[in-house]
Amino acid sequence: MPKTRAIEFAERGAPLRSRRWVLSATALAWAAALWIVAVDNLAFWRTLWSVRDDSSLRGALALGALALLLWTLFALLIRLLCWPRVGKPVVALLLVLAAVTASFIDRYGIVVDRGMLRNVLQTDWREAGDLMTASFLADVALRGLLPAALVLALRVEFGRWRRGVATLGAHVLLLVAFGAGAIAAFYADYAAAARNHRELRHLLTPTNVFNGLHGLWREQRAAPTTLEQIGTDARRDPAPAADRPLRVVLVVGETARAANFSLGGYARPTNQALDGKPVVYFGNVSSCGTDTATSLPCMFSDLGRERFSAAAAARRENVLDVLKRAGVAVRWIDNNSGCKGVCARIETLDLSSAGDPALCEGGECLDGVLLRGLDDALERPAAGDGLVVLHMKGSHGPAYYRRYPPQLRRWQPTCDTREIQRCSSEALRNTYDNGIGYTSEVLAGMIDRLAARSESQDSVLLYVSDHGESLGEGNVYLHGLPWRLAPAEQKQVPMIAWLSDGAARRLGVGVAELRHVAGRAWSHDDLVPTLLGLFAVRSSLYAPAGDIFANARPAAGPSAAAR
């Protein structure tokens, strides 16, 4: 019997369909908005709750009023998107987008702004894959896919347009009434929270995503297609007395923070591999940005941190272009996710996925491959002076455990998973420190290679990280917080210099003199003048105050007169 009934229903169609839940478009908008405000904005509410000035009833009421206002506002915006045919997919997509955003924010303590979105769009999929952990996917399934599937399964009545307009009008009136009421009652509370906690607007999901995309779009639209030349007046001083070529190796680190360098006083010997080498450690260096997409172009740009924007940098040359034009052979060797446009006009070698089976696995390589790259660069016939930029994979997270070979698991237990929140802070620190230990080994290997050639060339090695990292301090992980919000761990970067005896004579500055200025506050802004100074390039771009070597040079030193 039941079988017959089922066939009957199926043939008629209507009875089966009428069993689906039916919802008006307005009800759908209110429901989706409630879900987003309540479920996808946990960090927003947690932050507001923790910073409210008033712990009495007033603070809670202010929060409640804001919740009601946001619910009404989001419901109105969603209702405006709800049109026949497109309404359901649009709402479903919005729910998934909000869940993905919320999951990143809750997991890693990040905020979502233009810079973060640029990072997401520029990152490569190997790195993105590291973030797609099982718990992340489960979270997105629960908070995003499940409600989205429900929306798609529902039957939504869109009603007649006349009635729709009337409902919308009522909705707008309700919003105005709530808005006026909340502002009249709690304006001072909201203004203080917004002023003192600017991260709030980057936490409010999903408006943070749309704000960020809008910013990126404006940035793109403003970008002219022509490339602006800089330092066109650059000329090199006539070759110095030394008849040997100068080789400068600039090692750009990744996600190494100064706080974990024993050279700077960190209790663990993370830089032991450099013991006994005459290196100079600069302990007070600040980065330009807190993510690769900002710091990398910024450190090679003449704009400096204050004037830097990714769009402005993309439409003008950088110091590598200037050096190349001045006659320096420039080469970029990459073991990271690319140079973010910096090496666009420079000879480039990408070692990040191919090559040595002993060092590469799963489409990425340990930084040891850069030693091969350096060998290759150094063995080329010496034709004048040259700069080699080696771009490390460094300590890129969250898979810190994949940044060093197994024999370097010096500090244990380690956090051998990408789900770093599941590890104890001790295990996380151990893993990160093992990575710094490996970076030191690679740097030591580079110095050995340069030292072995000191009879035939003068060499300088300069290492500086692109930005730091948060390892769970204050529940913040990874990096990429906007500059003004970011903790020192994300902005204080290690910098190391080494130079051969020949280079010290040629530049008129040695280890002892460099150590005199190593404690000063330096920044990524000083890289451009330092590189220009190392190659004795005269240009209006050259700002002597930022040239680290010139600052260390004794006033009566051999080259001082030349400046």
In the complex, the residues that contact Zn ion under the rule CB under 5 A are 254, 292, 466
Tokens of 151: 């929306």
Task: CB nearer to Zn ion: give 183 or 488.
Answer: 488
Question: Nearest approach, Cβ of 253 to Zn ion (angstroms)?
Answer: 8
137, 156, 154, 155: which is closest to 145 by C-alpha? 137
Per-residue burial over 431-470, b = 16 or more CB atoms within 10 Å of its CB, e = otherwise: bbbbbbbbbbbbbbbbbebbeebeeebbbbbbbbbbbbbb
Nearest residue to 248 (alpha-carbon basis) of 304, 331, 166: 331
In the complex with Zn ion, the residue whose CB is nearer, 28 or 259, is 259
CA gap 114, 218 in Å, rounded: 11
Give the Å distances, CA to CA, from 304 to 177, 215, 295, 496.
Answer: 47, 21, 10, 21
Distance CA 339, CA 337 (A): 7
Rounded to the nearest whole angstrom, what is the least distance from the CB of residue 291 to Zn ion in the complex?
A: 6
For residue 11, give Cα distances in angstroms to 6, 14, 154, 324, 560: 9, 9, 21, 76, 95
Q: Which two tokens stand for residue 176?
A: 């105005």
Nearer to Zn ion, 252 or 328 (CB): 252
CB of 254 to Zn ion, least distance (A): 5
Q: How far is the CB of 460 from Zn ion (least distance, A)?
A: 23
- 299/360 with CB nearer Zn ion: 299
Cβ closest to Zn ion, residue 79 vs residue 257: 257
Q: Which residues contact 53 (CB under 8 A, 6 or more apart)?
A: 59, 189, 192
**Minimal distance in Å, beta carbon 370 to Zn ion?**
16
Q: In the bound complex, what is the minimum distance in angstroms from residue 427's beta carbon to Zn ion? A: 23
**C-alpha torsion angle, residues 292, 434, 391, 123 (rounded to 10):** -40
CB 293 within 8 A of CB 339: no
Read off φ and ψ for residue 360, nearest 5 degrees: -115, 140
CA distance 443 to 263: 13
CB atoms within 10 A of CB 525: 22
CB nearer to Zn ion: pick between 368 and 468? 468
Q: Decide whether 292 or 335 has the Cβ nearer to Zn ion.
A: 292
Radius of gyration of the chain (CA): 28
Q: How far is the CB of 396 from Zn ion (least distance, A)?
A: 7
- Residue 250 sits at φ, ψ, to 5 deg, of -105, 115
Q: Which amino acid is at 535?
A: F
Q: How far apart are CA 180 and CA 184, in angstroms?
A: 6
Half-sphere exposure of 298 (CA within 13 A, CB side): 24
Q: Considering beta carbons, is residue 199 or 254 the nearer one to Zn ion?
A: 254
Q: Which is nearer to Zn ion, 336 or 457 (CB)?
A: 336
Tell me if 315 sits within 8 A of 227, measured CB to CB.
yes
> Between β-strands 492-499 and 280-286, what pairing exists: parallel, antiparallel or unpaired?
antiparallel
CB nearer Zn ion, residue 364 or residue 466: 466
Nearer to Zn ion, 255 or 457 (CB): 255
Smallest separation (angstroms) from Zn ion to the CB of 520: 24
Closest residue to Zn ion using C-beta atoms? 292
73: nearest Cα among 98, 112, 36: 36
Nearer to Zn ion, 458 or 466 (CB): 466
Q: How far is the CB of 392 from Zn ion (least distance, A)?
A: 9
Rounded least distance, CB 211 to Zn ion, Å: 23
Q: How far is the CB of 292 from Zn ion (least distance, A)?
A: 3
Shortest CB 465 distance to Zn ion, Å: 8
